[in-house]
């Protein structure tokens, strides 16, 4: 694979004795085995593996602090690893060093149902969390698709299908325990629901992708499990009509929990993969949370608005099994897409624009993609203005990779021109670094670099990510 | 007044020619007049005025950048000034320097109703904003009581009575235009509803109280004006019963827009001031936003829950005039409180704790206050766990000031012990600096100091605030 990556030439030398010290401190929980390093040197991105020199499997914050001090003292890179589900090369060891595997830190530490908060170790995954708190009547809503770790989700500022109602990790992380580059341990905040007491260290670390500190504990907000849940599906003649419906639905104050767009190709893929018979046209998939009568009212308002915009075949899915079938299908859209071209290699885009520009942005993009030499599908978190193009590439054809990269570049330029961003929820990693200057401008990037230097003077924390070389 | 303040001995020397350059650049819009400096050297805190050397009335971001460069070149303090409504000494010129009056930057720059965003200059006040966007059917919900400027509200991470539903400035600022210490102009983000593209500069500046950069434009989220609004009031035998009701209401998923607590003294004060005849016991005041049937359903659920907790005399206020009378009374609680002791000097506390600890925190505090030599009232944003004690002090009795400071210290210690914060929404300014170490710990404070040095190496931006000297 010829994925473009800078900084590989910067692979650092490991000082003599450095690895031995890790071995003697961690024994079997430190490994330099090729297979272990390979597993920790790749994620779900299209990049080839870039291997760390070794992997430490930590169990406590104190161990993380010990490793950080050791790496900082010897200027060796340190890369936190959660579930390995990142999409943009976040965890690749471009400069070598130590991969810090936090998956063993998987304890739910404190549930406070009356305060709607839970504190977990960074390696707890979102499915595990919801499993463990089910009896409280509360749930954690952020759902990026993959069963990511909470630490990784915080570090990536993840979101997903129900951000339109519940927000992203930015809004839902209340506090973090963080190990600094030099091995100090801080709490970024307390459990108060709001605070004006100084700089917002929580939000400094949320989205910092392991480059400013290592998250070892996460406190997040929880929400009441909705009394009633209902779903609906609606076909539209055009994307424009679908987007206009969503704008009006939000203007009416309908608190939709999810609203997802699929283009015709995505619907076809889902029909084939999940054995459904959805009408093959652009469609919106809705989910409503609330009281039984509230959910009914929401659906009625939505039906009326969609009808006014040319929506057809508005269909309710009230029974849990029907709802679950639809939403499972949506969740499988990625795998369904892959099946459109068995054996393909996939690349996914992630722009997010103001919703008023969404239809225009998707339409221009689709017009270009229709000329591409490979198939694609589009799904979108319409309420947030965020959509993904899944590009299905021939793994043996480097020209198709380059073609897809060019299409993504033009897509990102378009999104930035429309006051949007190159990444709504996947993060920067390696893949989006080239867009950071265009999106933020030199002066804002300089501030980010100043922040990085202030927090990590020896550049040991996940180096070579987020901020492109000046 | 003997308000305790450090750093006053640090009043800096102004280099020769520095003020002349401002005069020649800004003419009439630069003033060193005593009355102008006095006006800009005080806020709504109990502190005596601390005067800047001069005041610049700016009209554009470019002018702000010019002043910043001038101050940075000469290491002269620069203090942004919005509406002057801060409560903790935020804008006092403890080291002298230049007060930068942004109130003339009062244009609403761009309304995007389809995107639910508006961009304003920093000097626009929240009432002005809501006046100007009324026709769009949208509104900006954050309401700290005072008619503060949007720039000041962002800088203070303000909130208020409806944060329980709509969040605080932390959640509602989408992007800022900021002038850096050395006079560069950046945008912290774009208008996409969410983004994972690098460090969250927006949240770095929200709550930074003018110490990291000068906010000149603010883009915030807007919400649909609710189709129906209803209010209700309910008396309780104890605070505990009131708080328990709120916890259950949130657990039931009722999207209450506001829920305010008042103690008996506050109710008495309001009755006297606003000519009401509310029953004089602890009470909760609710507001519901939604569709007509949704609002009705919310109120019914709330009534049932309050009844189950011993709530009495649940009363609806459906008619706009009744609703408005109740909520105006709540808004005037501060002035009503002052009238309990005409001519008094008031000091207000601002702790915020997890809601499960709220009743305990308020009760312990009230027990101590009952022994104080001055009267007090308590009002609280119960849904957030945030409450204010209004202490009514004899302005000619320094011992009472000291007594109130001691009570606040114990209150803050209690809040921190309960995993809370010294300030839920008023900010640090001068008054809360002494609690920053206890609340955050040395290592987290060191990170804040590192951030400050990285963004403002000459310490010119509102120096002597937020971070106590190490």
pLDDT digits over B268-285, tens only?
999 999 999 999 999 999
Closest CA relative to residue A149, chosen from A91, A212, A192: A91
- Mutation to test the A interface, candidates B199, B249, B434, B442, most A Cβ within 10 Å: B199
- Residue A3 is predicted with a pLDDT of 43
pLDDT at residue B91 greater than cutoff 50 = yes
- Nearest Cα of chain B lies from the Cα of A427 at a distance, in angstroms, of 5
- Residue B378 is predicted with a pLDDT of 96
Interval B94-144: pLDDT, tens: 999 999 999 999 999 999 999 999 999 999 999 999 999 999 999 999 999
- A345 vs B26, which has greater pLDDT? B26
Q: Which residue of B has its CA nearest to A212?
A: B199
Which ipTM did the prediction report? 0.96
- Residue A322 is predicted with a pLDDT of 87
- The CATH code for residues A336-428 is 3.30.70.2740
Q: Which fold has domain B341-438?
A: Alpha-Beta Plaits (3.30.70)
- Residue B1 is predicted with a pLDDT of 37
Round the average pLDDT of chain A to a whole number and report it.
Answer: 94
Chain position carrying tokens 């001031």: B273
H/E element holding B119? strand B117-121
Pairing of β B30-31 and β A386-393: unpaired
Task: Mark yes or no for CB contact B190/A439 under 8 Å.
Answer: yes
- Residue B6 is predicted with a pLDDT of 43
pLDDT band at A40 (very low <50, low <70, confident <90, very high): very high
Cβ atoms of B31 and B54 closer than 8 Å: yes
- Nearest Cα of chain B lies from the Cα of A185 at a distance, in angstroms, of 7
Mean pLDDT of A242-259: 93
Exposed, middle or buried, A12 (CB in 10 Å: 0-12/13-18/19+)? middle
Q: Which residues of A touch B167 (CB under 8 A)?
A: 171
- Residue A5 is predicted with a pLDDT of 44
Mean pLDDT of A397-424: 97
Closest CA relative to residue B357, chosen from B327, B334, B339, B380: B380
pLDDT at residue A298 greater than cutoff 80 = yes
pLDDT at residue A459 greater than cutoff 70 = yes
Domains A228-335 and A336-428 share a fold: yes
Q: How far apart are CA B154 and CA B209, in angstroms?
A: 8
Mean pLDDT of B459-470: 94
pLDDT band at A273 (very low <50, low <70, confident <90, very high): very high
- Residue B10 is predicted with a pLDDT of 82
Task: Mark yes or no for CB contact A192/B158 under 8 Å.
Answer: no
Q: How far apart are CA B266 and CA B389, in angstroms?
A: 10
Q: Which residues of B touch A255 (CB under 8 A)?
A: 255
- Residue B328 is predicted with a pLDDT of 85
Q: How far apart are CA A7 and CA A469, in angstroms?
A: 9
Task: Mark yes or no for CB contact B253/A227 under 8 Å.
Answer: yes
Which of A157, A188, A454 has its CB closest to that of B454? A454
Q: Which residues of B touch A199 (CB under 8 A)?
A: 204, 207-208, 212, 448, 451-452, 466
pLDDT at residue B8 greater than cutoff 60 = no
CA atoms within 13 A on the CB side of A373: 12
pLDDT at residue A329 greater than cutoff 90 = no
Which of A204, A247, A446 has its CB closest to that of B200? A204
pLDDT at residue A199 greater than cutoff 90 = yes
| Helix extents (H) in A178-288 | 201-205, 239-251, 264-274
Mean pLDDT of A346-359: 96
Task: Mark yes or no for CB contact B198/A426 under 8 Å.
Answer: no
> Could you give the maximum distance between any two Cα atoms of chain A, in Å?
71
Q: Which fold has domain A108-224?
A: 3.30.465
> Could you give the maximum distance between any two Cα atoms of chain B, in Å?
71
Q: Which residues of A touch B170 (CB under 8 A)?
A: 194, 200, 203
Collapse the DSSP code of B248 into the 3-class scheme (helix H, G, I; strand E, B; otherwise coil) and give the result: helix
Q: Does A185 touch chain B (CB under 8 A)?
A: yes
Cβ atoms of B408 and B402 closer than 8 Å: no
Stretch among A331-340, B131-140, B164-173 having the lowest mean pLDDT: A331-340
pLDDT at residue B226 greater than cutoff 80 = yes
Round the average pLDDT of chain B to a whole number and report it.
Answer: 94
Compute φ and ψ for B99, nearest 5 degrees.
-90, 130
- Mutation to test the B interface, candidates A61, A69, A196, A450, most B Cβ within 10 Å: A196
Interface of A with B in 87-116 (CB under 8 A): 112-116
pLDDT at residue B5 greater than cutoff 60 = no
pLDDT band at A325 (very low <50, low <70, confident <90, very high): confident
pLDDT at residue A320 greater than cutoff 90 = no
Interface of A with B in 380-399 (CB under 8 A): 384-386
Task: Mark yes or no for CB contact A114/B168 under 8 Å.
Answer: no
Which of B194, B199, B454 has its CB closest to that of A386? B194
Interface of B with A in 10-49 (CB under 8 A): none
- Say how many C-beta atoms besides its own lie within 10 A of residue A7's C-beta: 17
Closest CA relative to residue A403, chosen from A415, A412, A394: A394
- Nearest Cα of chain A lies from the Cα of B203 at a distance, in angstroms, of 6
Task: Mark yes or no for CB contact B171/A167 under 8 Å.
Answer: yes
pLDDT at residue A119 greater than cutoff 50 = yes
Which of A203, A252, A354 has its CB closest to that of B224? A252
Q: Does B426 touch chain A (CB under 8 A)?
A: yes
In b/e form, how buried is each residue of B365-395, taking b as 16+ CB within 10 angstroms? bbeebeebebbbbbbbbbbbbbbbbbbbbee
Closest CA relative to residue B159, chosen from B464, B421, B433, B369: B421
- Residue B3 is predicted with a pLDDT of 43
pLDDT at residue A2 greater than cutoff 50 = no
Q: Which CATH class is domain B8-101?
A: alpha beta
Collapse the DSSP code of B393 into the 3-class scheme (helix H, G, I; strand E, B; otherwise coil) and give the result: strand
Which of A353, A356, A447 has its CB closest to that of B455? A447
Q: Which residues of A touch B350 (CB under 8 A)?
A: 196
Q: How far apart are CA B93 and CA B405, in angstroms?
A: 22
Q: How far apart are CA B236 and CA B305, in angstroms?
A: 12
- Nearest Cα of chain A lies from the Cα of B423 at a distance, in angstroms, of 6
Task: Mark yes or no for CB contact A448/B199 under 8 Å.
Answer: yes
CATH assignment of B228-335, among 3.40.50.1860, 1.10.3720.10, 3.30.70.2190, 2.70.70.10: 3.30.70.2190
- Mutation to test the B interface, candidates A160, A184, A197, most B Cβ within 10 Å: A197
Q: How far is CA B29 from CA B17, B35, B51, B179, in A?
A: 17, 15, 18, 19
Q: Where do the structural domains in chain A lie, given as residue ranges? A: 108-224, 228-335, 336-428
Cβ atoms of A55 and A40 closer than 8 Å: yes
Task: Mark yes or no for CB contact B204/A208 under 8 Å.
Answer: no
pLDDT band at B9 (very low <50, low <70, confident <90, very high): low
Structure tokens at A417: 């021109």
Q: Which residues of B touch A136 (CB under 8 A)?
A: none
- Residue A393 is predicted with a pLDDT of 95
Transcribe B51-83 into DSSP letters.
--SEEEE--SHHHHHHHHHHHHHHT--EEEESS
pLDDT band at B330 (very low <50, low <70, confident <90, very high): confident
Helix/strand/coil (H/E/C) assignment for every residue in B176-225: EEEECCCCCEEECCCCCCCCCCCCCHHHHHCCCCCCCCEEEEEEEECEEC
Mean pLDDT of B20-48: 96
Which of A156, A226, A421 has its CB closest to that of B192? A421
Task: Mark yes or no for CB contact A197/B435 under 8 Å.
Answer: yes
Which of A168, A190, A291 has its CB closest to that of B421? A190
- Residue A1 is predicted with a pLDDT of 37
pLDDT at residue B23 greater than cutoff 90 = yes
Q: Does A251 touch chain B (CB under 8 A)?
A: yes
pLDDT at residue B19 greater than cutoff 50 = yes
Task: Mark yes or no for CB contact A444/B168 under 8 Å.
Answer: no
Chain position carrying tokens 């206009």: A244
- Say how many C-beta atoms besides its own lie within 10 A of residue A320's C-beta: 11
Q: Which residues of B touch A198 (CB under 8 A)?
A: 207, 428, 436, 440, 448, 466-467
- Nearest Cα of chain A lies from the Cα of B306 at a distance, in angstroms, of 16
Q: Which residues of B touch A192 (CB under 8 A)?
A: 352-354, 385-386, 415, 419-421, 424
Interface of A with B in 131-160 (CB under 8 A): 137-138, 156-159
Chain position carrying tokens 């629901």: A193
Task: Mark yes or no for CB contact B159/A194 under 8 Å.
Answer: yes
Interval A88-107: pLDDT, tens: 999 999 999 999 999 999 99
Interval A161-191: pLDDT, tens: 999 999 999 999 999 999 999 999 999 999 9
Chain position carrying tokens 């005849």: B277
């Amino acid at each position: 694979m010829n994925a473009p990556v800078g900084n590989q030439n910067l692979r650092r030398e490991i000082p003599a004795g450095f690895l031995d010290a890790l071995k003697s401190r961690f024994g079997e929980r430190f490994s330099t085995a090729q297979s272990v390093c390979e597993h920790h040197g790749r994620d779900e991105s299209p990049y080839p593996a870039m291997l760390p020199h070794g992997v430490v499997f930590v169990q406590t914050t104190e161990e993380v602090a010990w490793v950080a001090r050791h790496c900082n003292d010897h200027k060796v890179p340190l890369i936190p690893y959660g579930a390995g589900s990142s999409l943009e090369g976040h965890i690749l060891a471009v400069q070598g060093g130590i991969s810090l595997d936090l998956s063993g830190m998987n304890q739910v530490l404190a549930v406070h149902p009356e305060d709607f908060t839970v504190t977990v170790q960074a390696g707890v995954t979102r499915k595990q969390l919801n499993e463990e708190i089910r009896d409280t009547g509360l749930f954690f809503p952020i759902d990026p698709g993959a069963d990511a770790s909470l630490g990784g989700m915080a570090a990536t500022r993840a979101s997903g299908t129900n951000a339109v109602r519940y927000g992203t990790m930015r809004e839902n992380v209340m506090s973090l325990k963080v190990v600094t580059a030099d091995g100090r341990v801080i709490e970024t905040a307390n459990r108060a629901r709001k605070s004006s007491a100084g700089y917002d260290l929580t939000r400094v670390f949320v989205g910092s992708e392991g480059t400013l500190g290592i998250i070892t504990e996460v406190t997040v907000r929880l929400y009441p499990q909705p009394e009633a849940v209902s779903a609906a599906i609606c076909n539209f003649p055009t994307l424009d009509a679908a987007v206009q419906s969503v704008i009006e639905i939000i203007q009416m104050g309908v608190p939709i929990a999810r609203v997802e767009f699929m283009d015709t190709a995505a619907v076809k893929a889902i029909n084939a993969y999940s054995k459904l018979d959805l009408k093959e046209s652009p469609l919106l998939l809705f989910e409503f949370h609330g009281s039984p009568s509230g959910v009914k009212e929401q659906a009625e308002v939505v039906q009326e608005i969609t009808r006014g915009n040319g929506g057809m075949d508005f269909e309710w899915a009230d029974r849990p099994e029907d709802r679950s079938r639809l939403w499972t299908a949506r969740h499988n859209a990625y795998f369904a897409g892959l099946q459109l071209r068995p054996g393909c290699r996939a690349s996914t885009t992630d722009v997010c624009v103001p919703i008023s520009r969404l239809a225009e942005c998707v339409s221009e993009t689709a017009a270009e993609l229709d000329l591409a030499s490979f198939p694609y599908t589009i799904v979108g978190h319409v309420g947030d203005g965020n959509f993904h193009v899944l590009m299905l590439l021939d793994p043996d054809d480097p020209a198709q990779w380059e073609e897809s990269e060019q299409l993504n570049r033009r897509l990102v330029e378009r999104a930035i021109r429309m006051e949007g961003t190159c990444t709504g929820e996947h993060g920067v990693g390696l893949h989006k670094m080239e867009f950071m200057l265009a999106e933020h401008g030199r002066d804002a990037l300089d501030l980010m670099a100043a922040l990085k230097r202030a927090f990590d003077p020896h550049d040991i924390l996940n180096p070579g990510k987020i901020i492109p070389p000046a």
